Amino acid sequence: MRLLIATAALVSLAAVAKTPVIAADDQRGRQPAIRFAEMDSNRDGVITRDEWRGSARSFAMHDWNGDGRLAGEEVRIGQLGHR
């Protein structure tokens, strides 16, 4: 039980420790690294359907919230998807 609590605490600390790095990038005016960055032709941190080089079906699979653009959690490195 103690091992489980210690492991949960470490995982929580790791998640919290990672957040300030992303925030620091934003404060310096730089976009954090994103998945599909090579498709982001205007470097705004958002991948539109026009920028997407794959199929419409592939785009839709990555567009978790169905808003027609890939942004935020959808392009954050390390995210696997919600579907």
The pLDDT tens digits for 14-72 are 544 444 444 444 455 565 688 889 999 999 999 999 999 999 999 999 999 999 999 98
Could you give the angle at the alpha carbon of 50 between the alpha carbons of 80 and 36, nearest 5°? 30
Tokens representing 70 are 């890939």
Residue 24 is predicted with a pLDDT of 42
Residue 34 is predicted with a pLDDT of 85
3-state SS class at 25: helix
HSE (side-chain half, CA atoms, 13 Å) at 82: 10
Higher pLDDT, 57 or 6: 57
pLDDT surpassing 80 at residue 76: yes
For the chain, which residues make up each domain, given as ranges? 1-30, 31-83
- The model's pTM is 0.56
**Nearest CA among 40, 67, 36, 43 for reference residue 51:** 40
Residue 17 is predicted with a pLDDT of 46
